[in-house]
Amino acid sequence: MAEAIAIISILGVLAIGAITPGPSFILVAQISLSRSRSHGIAAAAGMGAGAIFFAILALLGLQLIFIEIDWLYAAFKVFGGLYLLYLGIRIWRGAKNTLMPSADDPAFAAAGLTHKATCLRAFFYAFMTQISNPKAAIIYSGVFAVFLPAEISFWFPMVLLPAILLLETGWYLLVACALSAPVSRNIYLRAKCSIDRIAGSLMGLLGIKLMTS
């Protein structure tokens, strides 16, 4: 019973963290709007994989590692901040670029692109964004430290980890599907440059704030 309550409590807090706008939301939104639904879904899967990465580390005692090795957390913040700044600059610089051609467009193949390759790239960017966020690391380690029972059964991680994957991926799938809809894309097309520059600026500012906080 205690373990079931712990799982529900952990998932509840993580759900609040997931729906709170941040770098992950900005990236999935930008990919979904500027690429396609399948690219947004790939990014959502990357976010879910990153969440599992942190969940496993939290089960192994991530918080204790940060407490014992304080410079490691500082280095993590610098790395995460630089990565977010890089993404912000990349989005800003691509603001005036035309949208990537669709998978059935001859220009897609002519550009040397494949649908699979670009989806993998979207997955990679999302995964790296998730695991480079020290805030997510602290949330996961803190939540696990508070709610994790002193003793857990063998089934506990077998239930918790897939549930976290479903939670994180499911939320970003909703974001991807909503923002890749024709209405959303038409709005985006009319103001692509401004939207991308706002997204790039926010991502860059988050990176700077992370490094200087």
Domain that holds residue 30: 2-212
Phi, psi of 104 (to 5 degrees): -95, 10
In the chain, the number of structural domains is 1
Cβ(45)–Cβ(123) below 8 Å: yes
- pLDDT-derived band at 114, boundaries 50, 70, 90: low
- pLDDT-derived band at 40, boundaries 50, 70, 90: very high
Q: What is the pLDDT of residue 17?
A: 80
Full-model pTM: 0.77
